[in-house]
Structure 1
Amino acid sequence: MSKNVIGIDLGGTTTKIAFLSKDGTFLDKWKIDTNDSEHGSHIVPNIIKSISVHMNDANYTKNDFIGIGMGTPGTVDYKAGTVTGAYNLNWRSPQPVREQIENALGLPFTMDNDANVASLGEYWQGAGSKDSDIIFVTLGTGVGGGVIANGHLVRGVNGAAGEIGHITVKPGGYMCTCGKRGCLEQYASATGVVHVARDMSVKFTGTSRLKELEDANEEVTSKIVFYLADNGDILANQVVDKVCSYLGLALADVGNTFNPDNIIIGGGVSNAGNTLLQPTTRYFQQNAFKPVQDSTRIKLAQLGNDAGAMGAGSLAFRAFDKQNNK
């Protein structure tokens, strides 16, 4: 039997799909728009259609694959194969994703939270490929995370393990969409960086291009903040330092709990590279337990936008192995 799988990285704007071999090689990969109209009812049918077309064009049949894996936003019922609360997909009620895909394509299907799946990608073929224990944190519009301990994805009792974005880093701080205050997500996500920059600019009295942009109500993004910090802007550097102090603190808490080989930072904000990594590592070292300081390292992710599809493929292989090793 062939050992290929199909990996799906479902996002609010685009859906990335890939055919992967057992050694993690992309045999084919592409993306389609995520159509969330009419309560997201077109999303799964569009995925099924796209996979069917690509299989046909490449002369594949379902016998060339052993399963399909998917990473998705929202709350995943891993056992039932449903997703709920994926608001950026317009999915408010439970969606029977597994049932739809298995019935249409005739292949075993498994899925998990998108951050968990991306962590599997980095663990399998990325920055954690030589490790047994990693923490993955993704800094994007929000902050997500995944925990892999002794090679196993940690899901928790109801799938909420790895929610690093909701570690409280500032009691009584910014209100989070989760309903509590001071979550890391409100400080270290792309939107969080912008929020911190706006508030800090109000009290800043020196010369700063970032200050000028804020005062003129120009659009400020996290990318702009890090770019200005790289180019010596005083306020931008203060903002980056503040953001990294919160991130380093949260990662130290996670490090003290799990003592992983590596904590891997991915997502769009991680494109800031060493401008993000160096101060975050410094604050991690300040707050971590001494044995953790000595053994756990902070690293940048390596797979970029491929992490989700790669991890989804890994999820499918893991599900197949589990089913056949009972």
Structure 2
Amino acid sequence: MSQQLVVGIDIGGTNTKFGVVDRRGNILCDGRMLTNQHEDVAGFLDELHEHLSKLIDQAGGIDNIRGIGVGAPNGNYYTGNIEYAPNLRWKGVIPLANLLGEKFGLPTVLTNDANAAALGELMYGAARSMKDFIVITLGTGVGSGIVANGQLIYGHDGFAGELGHCIVIPGGRYHPGTGAHGSLEAYASATGVTNTALEFLATRPETKSTLRDLKKEEINSKTVFDAAMAGDPLAREVYEFTGKILGEALANFVMFSSPEAIILFGGLTKAGDLIMKPVREHMELNLLPIFQNKVKLVFSELKESDAAILGASALAWEMKD
């Protein structure tokens, strides 16, 4: 049974999740810890080693582990470095794959979190039989991973596929994290939904909404979602608008790489048809005829709580022996 398991680690701005995974995508044991408790990466790695060593022992020991895969913000597959991640306390360039590899004595590979999600779909999820697809993660931000001809697209420097930062409305909404105006992430993320709701409340006084009963600081993507599901007209307009922006952007992405499918993942997908209907409508509306009605729009098949670990673990299976 030697080396029939891998470790998957997902490093987020707040939490880090990790687990031991078999080739079928079963998570045999897992855990989590706070990322942002540690000002320097050395303290973070010490705590991670403590937690993970117990899981590795639980799974039969280090000899059963083939390697470690890591998904992290601004993770560079080519260098194994986290480079200038805006949402981590450790600044600059962190040679994380090397540091982890030395700590555990295991081969370690790293990429960004959205690329890891795409590999997870390819190995365990909705893209199992596909060679051309795009994964879009709709959470606090908008991430993406592009697979073409069966290969994840990294680009010459390891940072290809940042579709969330493409400009969809030139001169549009300001993105405080990047300084850009009008990027997809400023509209189609949970933060974007919140900001659209606040804008609509201010500019559409004639539209009735239960959201008007809330304080400004109480309005977030969850309260907008709850209102929309209860039939609130303004909240539904927010999803209609968000779906339109996302659909128009997806049309551009389709004409760029002609994928078999676009797989949507993350919190915004919980709105189901409220967002999917306008997304599909505006995607098809903006496609050239040769691309129309060819691309499947589907939700991820990975369980949300497991997806990050599975995506990172898929990276470890991809490593050459």
2:83 alignment counterpart: 84
Q: Do the aligned partners of 1:131 and 1:261 also contact (CA within 8 Å) in 2? A: yes
Amino acid at match of 2:287: A
2:5 alignment counterpart: 4
Q: Which deviations, in whole Å up to 9, do the C-alpha atoms of 1:114-151 show, x marking residues without a partner?
A: 11101111222112223221100111111110001122
Amino acid at match of 1:310: L
Q: Do the aligned partners of 1:133 and 1:148 also contact (CA within 8 Å) in 2? A: yes
| CA apart distance, 1:173 | 0.4
Residue identity over aligned pairs, in percent, reads 35
The 2-side partners of 1:257 and 1:276 are apart by 23
The equivalences for 1:267-282 within 5 A come to 267-282=266-281
> Which 4+ stretches in 1 moved above 6 angstroms?
none
Q: Do the aligned partners of 1:84 and 1:91 also contact (CA within 8 Å) in 2? A: no
2:112 alignment counterpart: 113
Count of residues in correspondence between the two structures: 318
1:264 alignment counterpart: 263
The 2-side partners of 1:314 and 1:202 are apart by 45
The 1-side partners of 2:40 and 2:33 are apart by 18
The 2-side partners of 1:282 and 1:71 are apart by 33
3-state SS of the aligned residue for 1:123? helix
| CA apart distance, 1:269 | 1.6
1:128 alignment counterpart: 127
The equivalences for 1:1-326 within 5 A come to 1-56=2-57, 58=58, 60-74=60-74, 76-176=75-175, 177-213=177-213, 216-303=215-302, 304-319=304-319, 323-324=320-321
Q: Do the aligned partners of 1:210 and 1:225 also contact (CA within 8 Å) in 2? A: no
Q: Which deviations, in whole Å up to 9, do the C-alpha atoms of 1:79-120 show, x marking residues without a partner?
A: 332112223221212112122211121110000001110111
The 2-side partners of 1:22 and 1:157 are apart by 30
Amino acid at match of 1:2: Q
The 1-side partners of 2:63 and 2:6 are apart by 11
3-state SS of the aligned residue for 1:243? helix
Which one is further off, 203-212 or 167-176? 203-212
| CA apart distance, 1:45 | 2.1
The 2-side partners of 1:207 and 1:259 are apart by 39
The 1-side partners of 2:221 and 2:23 are apart by 37
CA-atom RMSD, angstroms?
A: 1.7
3-state SS of the aligned residue for 1:30? strand
The 2-side partners of 1:98 and 1:88 are apart by 19
The 2-side partners of 1:40 and 1:88 are apart by 14
The 1-side partners of 2:15 and 2:211 are apart by 34
3-state SS of the aligned residue for 2:290? helix
Q: Do the aligned partners of 2:31 and 2:51 also contact (CA within 8 Å) in 1? A: no
3-state SS of the aligned residue for 1:88? coil
The 1-side partners of 2:200 and 2:207 are apart by 13
Q: Which deviations, in whole Å up to 9, do the C-alpha atoms of 1:210-240 show, x marking residues without a partner?
A: 45146x4351111222322232222112211
3-state SS of the aligned residue for 1:118? helix
* TM-score, with length taken from structure 1: 0.92
Describe the shift of the 1:47–1:292 C-alpha distance in structure 2 as closer, same or farther (beyond 3 A). farther
| CA apart distance, 1:207 | 4.6
Q: Do the aligned partners of 1:188 and 1:243 also contact (CA within 8 Å) in 2? A: yes
The 2-side partners of 1:106 and 1:39 are apart by 21
Please, which runs of 5 or more residues in structure 1 have no aligned partner?
none
The 2-side partners of 1:54 and 1:25 are apart by 14
| CA apart distance, 1:197 | 1.1
The 2-side partners of 1:82 and 1:313 are apart by 17
Describe the shift of the 1:59–1:152 C-alpha distance in structure 2 as closer, same or farther (beyond 3 A). closer
The 1-side partners of 2:27 and 2:211 are apart by 45
